[in-house]
Amino acid sequence: MNIERSAGILLHPTSLPGKFGIGDLGEQAFNFINFLEASGQTLWQVFPLGPTGYGDSPYQCFSAFAGSPLLISPEILAEEGYLKKEDLTKIPKFDPINIDFGGVIDYKNSLLRKAFENFVKEKNPAVEKSFSAFCEKHNDWLDDYSLFMAVKNYHGGNLWTTWNKEIALRKKGAIEKWKEKVADEIQYQKFLQFNFFKQWHKVKKYANHKGIKIIGDLPIFIAYDSADLWANKSLFTVDENGKLLTCAGVPPDYFSPTGQLWGNPLYRWDEMEKDDFLWWRKRISALLELIDIVRIDHFRGFEAYWEIPGDAPTAETGKWVKAPGDKFFTAVRKHLGDVPIIAEDLGVITKEVNALRDKFNFPGIKILQFAFGTKMETKFLPHNFIPNCVVHTGSHDNDTTRGYFEKAKEEKHKNDIYEFTQKYLGYYGDDITNQLIKTAYASVAKIVVIPLQDMLNFGNEARMNFPGTLGGNWSWRFTWEQVPYNLAGKYKKMCEMYQRPPKPEKVESEK
């Protein structure tokens, strides 16, 4: 991937301000793009944009292709006539800096259902034509996804393996029978996707017009409770009844003595190779309709993955199995061209993983917090960077940078971390976060992307995710009142000083 020196911000759209309990694709998304431009930023990094399930994680979605209905802006629905202004007058009192997913889901679903009812009643020929064109364009995944969600809702939202057996296992005649049985709900699910895509494309077009590219996330594995698995069992490591034969995770390490048991099905790579990885190529093509640069989460799984028996209680009994990464990326390049890819190459990385990344010239990732820890990894120290990399102060799975160093100061056995950081940076003041950001900007790394929490110098109250825990994650939001009036100007000057151009050639969206 060839890209000039640039800078960006990591912020998921759910974290945007707004009165509906969760960030969405309305006015505040455009305001944030204006802030990016004013700050000299040319990149906006987001998490996966799909429909989230139990635990609200964007890394466990009901589909690898669909968009999240929770991101649909009610105000835009009102502007387009799907809702009346009075429908938006009685908004529950939501916390402006913390998402209550239960409350938000109930409230937004009630608005979305009302919007769909009005869409059906109105029968606007132009809108219906646009809707039909959208459904036809995306039918390859949309038909399965909308049926999956409709049947899931019919069964009270339960896991697909607990449904009526004929449709759970897609037995002969069951698909047509259930399509008729839940026809209205299928249309509702398609209506939601129609509006998500329409709203997101306007956001992306606006960003691209401002010279801002969007970095989107592609989790390597799909969720077990997903339309992807339900509709394509032959491509994943489940038996004919959907029982997991093997699943994904990572081996024991200093973070966890029993490893991490993720529970995602693995790929039957031998099956996928038969059609030159068609399912994967469709997935990447669909993602490129939404974003400009693909960040592959858990890239090392394309070289080798930790295979765990499907009934194992922990990840300890797994084994490393080779993946066809070279063949896969060769096929992607052959069919899709030179897709701009960032390789999330964190964790236990071997020379083979590095070789795969470098063969295709994918930039890897550097996390500055990892350079200044008890298990200090010197490859994350800035003097060891190579230009073809992306540097972050921290990620969504870490403490905020301020929170990280506050802990280091408090815990006596970690005092050496803090002292080493001060010596390395040559900085003894009380704003280590800002100094680390400047260090990232000054480094040779072509790309620097800073989480907004670190730009605002927030503590761990703004942490996004605690891996391995359920509940209370992914809920942080900001308000514009928390953003200092001079922050955009400060970052624009930093971009200019460290030659991360604030005004690159504009990117015209074709979408």
- Token couple for 344: 């999330």
CA–CA–CA angle 34, 213, 130 (5° rounding): 85
- Token couple for 499: 């030659």
Of 399, 489, 484, 480, nearest to 436 by C-alpha is 399
Question: Could you tell me the CA-to-CA distances from 241 to 100, 136, 229 in Å, in that order?
Answer: 35, 30, 12
Q: Among this protein's residues, is 297 annotated catalytic?
A: yes
Residue 244 has what DSSP assignment?
A: B
The strand pairing partners of 214, in sequence order, are 44
Separation of alpha carbons 247 and 506, rounded Å: 43
Instruction: Write out 275-299 in H/E/C secondary structure.
Output: CCCHHHHHHHHHHHCCCCEEEEECH
Count the neighbouring beta carbons within 10 Å of the beta carbon of residue 218.
Answer: 20
Catalytic residue among 24, 75, 228, 344: 344
Place of tokens 């999330």: 344
Q: Treating both helix axes as pointing N-terminal to C-terminal, what angle do 401-410 and 432-442 enclose, rounded to 10 degrees?
A: 130
Task: Tell me if 67 sits within 8 A of 13, measured CB to CB.
Answer: no
- Residues in the chain, total: 511
Q: Among this protein's residues, is 344 annotated catalytic?
A: yes
Alpha helices for 182-316 (secondary structure H): 183-209, 227-231, 269-273, 278-288
Q: Among this protein's residues, is 510 annotated catalytic?
A: no
Catalytic residue among 297, 316, 377, 406: 297
Separation of alpha carbons 329 and 332, rounded Å: 5
Residue 52 has what DSSP assignment?
A: B
Place of tokens 């869409």: 119
Catalytic residues: 297, 344, 397
